Structure 1
Amino acid sequence: MQFLRFPRPLLLALAGLLATAPILAQAPAPTPAVAVAAPAIQPSALPDDIVASKNVMLPMRDGVRLATDIYRPTVRGVATAGRFPVILVRGPYNKDADVAAAKIFVPRGYIVISQDVRGRYRSEGRWRPIADDPNDGFDTAKWIGDQLWSDQSIGTIGSSYNAATQHALAIAGAPHVKAMIPRNAMSNFGLYGVRHHGAFELRWLNWVLTLGNATGTPDALPAATRAAADPLAAPALVTLGEHVQAYARNLPLRAGTTPLKFAPDYEAWLIEAMSHGAYDDFWKNSGSSVVDHLAEYKDIPVYHVTGWYDSWGTSVANLNFVELTKAKKSLQRLIVGPWIHSSEHLTYAGEAQFTPDAALDRAAFELRWFDRWLKGIDNGV
């Protein structure tokens, strides 16, 4: 197999261009403690300088509670006193995986908070993709700012859906959010995401039928059990993704005709998304479109990240980055590398092999950004 080789990662000639972009500037009482379902993750899973509170159930404005993990600095097993900036991750793909972020940020003087979005894994409520994330993100950020360990500075990280929740936070004007790094985020679900200028993208049929990528993973059964109206139906949902091609040949999808009927939230969203061909209010809500809500979008520094081979690379660069640069005073930056979706750690894309420095050192990159905007360290950003 002959591999292509490139002299430098295309981590963007924009780097030089953006280096010239102007950098413009810009203790309430704590809320009552909430229930902790499991007091701490198993000690063997974390280094000695991190302590975790697992599955803290944060109440939203409508009473629904979202499962939240809190990772804090510790000295000899006791949480370190004082106030710290917070790194927030909100997503549908099981918050337990975000222990990796905790191991990066907590030793550097941050608190990391990871949350299952409404209706996913251990969180209560109905799952309606992105629709509830503006309000839920706002309520979560407000709660964080009210805690005695918070210095009221929040930064956000995450890719794909976990990047869309960041944009939802900014559009909602969430308090205390001061900087973000959304990676590979859609700009507009109706025109350049779930649908493409009206045409439904069939990969979303696959995404929902696999319960948001659960099928074939160790998390498949927990995701299916949480989604199922009847827990006994979970095994049918786990194997649903194995038959995507058969269901795709028999579109349109009708309610109650597949095992997805056991996961009514998923079925309802998929049928609705497939029925809205016109660019209507369903696609213009504050969770589904950045460009329709530029005026409301919080004026904070945002570092947009995407790949040349990511299907949303064009809209991240030409819509999210360009339009927010026009609309806001705070620094907007963009990095585009030779990556497919959410694969900044790789040095290849398909059969194209790049040089070793094609991989993004995401830990160093994100720490530097948040050290600047959350801690005020003059590090040249």
Structure 2
Amino acid sequence: MNPCDLLLAGTGSLAEAALFSFATTGVGRPLRISIGGRNAERCRWLALAANARAAALSVPNFVEPAILDWSSPEALEGAMRQLQPKVVVQTASMQSPWALAESSAWSQLIRDGGYGLATPFHTILTARLVRAIERAGTGSVVINGAYPDLANSIIKAMGLTVPLGFGNVDIVATSAAAMLGSREPGKVRMLAQWEPHVADFREPPEKRRNINPKAWIDGEEVADFMARFRDLKFPPASDDSLNQITGTTVVPMAHAFLTGQTYVGHAAGPFGLPGGYPVRIDNGEVSLNLPDGISREDAIAFNKGFEQMEGIVLDEAARRVTLTGHAHEAMASRKFDLAEGYPVASLEDLEIACTRLDAIRGELIGKPAS
């Protein structure tokens, strides 16, 4: 494996969408891109397809496959030492959100208790990657696409280097800008997250909860965002084509770290904060880019409030995740002791939570939904 500018970690539909966007977007110089995962054949195919796209468009970016062994801390650290990536875009998860569309008792548990029930699965690979980068000493910037609204906060609670996050808030913001016919960075600014905002736009208008994000257009707050963008409709949960938007939103963010150019847009979980925020990146430095009239504290409080709604609450002081409401009920009604939550003071704590959750998945995955 050769050193690269950018490593895409993961080989699923989100990684594919991001890779194809990176490969065909020029930055004024050739970029060395690696696509890394466990499946060597899949990595080779994605690299070939991305290189063919770049060749067709005469973009001088070059993609190579790489092997990432998520199960071995030593192998993962060794891969980081070999690749020396300046930026890592992390998309891998132990639970594909699209697989949850299948009919099983496991999928039913997640539907009943909410997407956040699988938080350990969405967080663990990012946490392993961050620790491997710390130990390798590469100083790589990590941009996380695996449930960053909450995962980044948990990684911060563990005392690991906090990644930036992409997707979620920016899916809605860029879609709204598209509906307005705008290509101006920062025209739409939002405080939002996956649940309830992105998830709500997957439903038909008549079935939505219509819980407004905080949103501004040209600096003016929009109080009725859900009504104003009623015609905005994302594909249903079984359709992974939403990643065609998500995978593109990370491109200008990563380029800001690779080239020093300014980025004006959104990030999920910046600084380990809950939810998504407007941000700027100037010369590699990230800052919140809130409109006038809202403080950092109020913005955080707005996003933090959705943890209770989702039923997955991080107590930062205790470094513990607590399940409440429908999330707790879904676990408790099935007699699973994970209903009482789990500590996240260390990576080892999260590994234990993953093992416990994997046992639940193993018990339920082969059973039909009720």
Q: By the TM > 0.5 criterion, same fold?
A: no
Which of the pair is proportionally richer in helix?
Answer: 2
Whichever of the two has the greater Rg, that structure is: 1
